[in-house]
Structure 1
């Protein structure tokens, strides 16, 4: 962060400072953390009261590990650490981020904030843009999907006097949330990827989602630039907000930055022709899988070109960037329970658009072999999609039908043995599969243990199996992906007496 003292931080957040030694007020703060395990020497530990854990319980520990101060909503009497007391530590965290960014802008050296939003693709676009810009100058971007009122300020507070670019991912579940984030960190470039139906149940309508995403464009000042998806009818009207200070990206005629001639290989990686304004068209070979990532790469390339990168350099970075944030079309191979199979882990979250994109990737997967006799057995392990509003059952049935229409060989829908709604939505997926002509194998399971066993059984009977994991966080599929990544022990089974047994059949 831009260094400030404990006293300056207290003044910034209008907090009451409690110190045992007056000299402590002048201690410099070098970092801001919300995890006490990261609260080393010179850190400001922000205590946040969460649903399951209250950070105030760890203030004393932060003091013992050398924290410069703690930001709290009530004084912790037995903690030997300076404390800044405020009404709301999350709001105070945002004020710190705002002040730090203002200090960076006042430093007088070039500094650009790029804000990214959209119903899908934010994190992958952020990852690709970070890779592109980091090849040119010091760049800060969030870890994973740190895009809310805690994660975004924490990321912004990593900016220091050497930072040239800040890539800021901004998400929302309600109107006004992106406006709040941009009030803390105003973007110089605003990227809008797509307006879909993610969080439709919270927003109430696609029109409200459009309004929410447009808040990032409204935050631009008179010199700001919007980078907009020319192929999305809900995005294109946002150009009027900024008097057409826009760079358009897409695959259609309205795009200035354009991707065309998209081809997919057997590993679901795209090759396409990239045409940037004023540059000769160039072939790009994406190192990450997923046809949908062509648009994400195009958005990132458009920003990088605007900031001075050549098409040749952009193509080179995109061809090398094979890793992105976890649980996003991550491909691996696994030997488990006597079965060998390929895993496509896209389990971070799900909505109808991203679910179809994942299924498209599974459908297109042929692996390294072009031999038709080695066509993989394609298994979709799908969880529920949340916050979709009144038509959630129909949308889940539609996903099941889509999987069947693609010719997916098996669909396993993962419900819940303790959440009736999650279980019902998973059942809707299976209903959709079975409603199709020539429906494939389809099975409803009620937990990830049963999903684990079912996948192993299918893979053992079908060589060259490839398995897609896709669902909302609540479905537990990211936990299954982590279990597979670590190759943890198989889940226990029940013996004839109903007692839990190990994989060797011994009673627990």
Structure 2
């Protein structure tokens, strides 16, 4: 974070500064800001966020011992550390992020990119951060820091030397993206897709589309909207963008795209295509598995071009990315038994894309094995969406369908009903039972996909299988 005095921070937050030890109101702090006391270091700021399972106020002492110079609290804690008492710690975190980014922006050349979409946010963020990091200091979220805590924590990592801030915006309800993106008003607003992920929490896919469009509304009016023209709901956001005076850049595989991919091919060693932009045609070879990542790459290239990076440079840098992120199409195992651990998250769209990738990368003499868990947050559509994935797995001729957990049992029943008989589809109530089956069932030539929503935790099963066959 940029250097601020305790008094300045208290003023920004509208809080009550309580001094302790040798600190004065003019004491400067410039360390990281976080809600996790384990992340604290010298000069850092600990935000004591109350939670459903624990209360951050219990860890103020641990934060002080780790070097924290300030605690932002909702009530005074009996610890020898300066404290700023606020009404709401999460709101205070957002207020501090807004102020710090505004000061850096006013003093220098900071450019801000916001990314949202039902799928692909983290991969696109990582792709773009890789491209921009060669241009100057780039701040981007760790993992999927895209909520009311993670997004401001990331923003607060900017300094006066930061040239690019890449923010990832998730949404758990209408208004979430508007609130988070409104903290920084991005120069570039990237919308990837509108899908069924979290649709249960929004009341349907049209409400989801409206929520994603909040990023375009929150961007600067002189900025650029980077939109997926292959998704008609995203493409329709161009009208909103132009009505605000923004420029629009479209990406995708259709002829309407400004940044376009064609000749897409997926193999076990990566994904290739030809990128066409501004009259140039440049081959791209991604080490990341899956045709669906081509769209994420195009989005990153498009955003980078808006920020002044050439297509050739963007492509060259993307080709160095080995994996999108841990637990996202992550290759594990060995050449005999290859595990693809893609169980950090799952939606109907990403589940279908992962199954298609599994079918595409498996050779004629190899066997496809899909280890599948539940997709969460689908609301009243959950049953039919699990049915659809079960049907798709059978129609793609996935040779072993291993369903794990009671929440995914309907997927198993659907596969059986579609014709996956004679032990082609099996069900296990938990990960341990599935692991015991797989450790003896898997054989040379197997290509294994592990896929579920994060809350189901099959990523840990994928790690176990990867270690077993390493």
TM-score (ref. length: structure 2): 0.95
Q: Which residue of 2 aligns with 1:12?
A: 12
Say which SS state the counterpart of residue 325 (structure 2) adopts. Answer: coil
Q: Give the match's secondary structure for 1:231.
A: coil
* Deviation, structure 1 residue 487: 5.5
| Structure-2 separation of matches of 1:464 and 1:486 | 17
Output one character per residue of 1:119-171: Cα deviation in whole Å (capped at 9) or x when no partner.
00000000000000112111110011100000000000011011111000001
Matched with 1:324 is 324
* C-alpha distance in 2 between matches for 1:213 and 1:143: 21
Partner residue in 1 for 2:224: 225
Alignment of 1:346-495 (within 5 A): 346-366=342-362, 372=364, 375-415=365-405, 423=406, 425-437=407-419, 439=421, 441-459=424-442, 462-484=443-465
Contact 2:266 2:357 in 1 (8 A): no
Q: 1:403 to 1:95 in 2, by over 3 A?
A: same
Contact 1:426 1:444 in 2 (8 A): no
* 2:33 partner SS: strand
Which deviates further from its counterpart, 279-288 or 190-199?
279-288
The answer for unaligned runs of 5 or more in structure 1 is 416-422, 489-508
Q: CA–CA distance in 2 between the matches of 1:484 and 1:449? A: 11
Residue 478 of structure 1 aligns to a residue whose secondary structure is helix
Tell me if 1:341 matches 2:337: yes
After TM superposition, the structure 1 stretch with the greater mean CA deviation from structure 2, 49-58 or 381-390, is 49-58
Contact 1:217 1:226 in 2 (8 A): yes
Q: Which moved more, 1:145-154 or 1:38-47?
A: 38-47
Residue 325 (structure 1) shift: 1.9
Q: What is the rounded CA distance, in whole Å, between the counterparts of 1:232 and 1:327 in structure 2?
A: 26
Query: Residue 22 of structure 1: CA displacement?
Result: 6.8
Residue 140 (str. 1) matches residue 139 (str. 2) = yes
1:204 paired to 2:194: no
After TM superposition, where is structure 1 displaced by more than 4 Å over at least 4 residues in a row?
484-488
Identify which of 262, 286, 290 aligns with 2:264.
262
- Conserved? CA contact 1:334–1:484, under 8 Å: no
After superposing the two structures, state which structure 1 stretch, 134-143 or 470-479, moved more: 470-479
For the 8 Å contact 1:64–1:80, the answer to whether it is kept is no
CA-CA distance at 1:234 after TM superposition: 0.7
Q: How much does 1:21 deviate?
A: 4.6
Deviations 1:31-80 (A, max 9, x none): 21222122211000111122222211110122223211101111112x11
Q: Which residue is equivalent to 1:163?
A: 162
Q: Deviations over 1:248-289 (max 9, x none)?
A: 10111211110011112233x211110112x42111101111
Deviation at 1:410?
A: 0.6
Within 1, Cα distance between the matches of 2:232 and 2:8?
Answer: 46
Which structure is larger by alpha-carbon Rg, 1 or 2? 1
| TM-score of the two chains, using structure 1 as the length reference | 0.88
Which residue among 245, 248, 252 is the counterpart of 1:246? 248
**DSSP 3-state at the match of 1:184:** coil
- Residues in 1 aligned to 2:236 and 2:420: alpha-carbon distance in whole angstroms: 42
Structure 2: gaps (5+ residues): none
- Quote the offset at 1:484 in angstroms: 4.2
Give the conservation status (yes or no) of the 8 Å contact 2:29–2:69: yes
State whether residues 114 and 166 of structure 1, in contact with CA within 8 Å, keep that contact through their aligned partners in structure 2.
yes
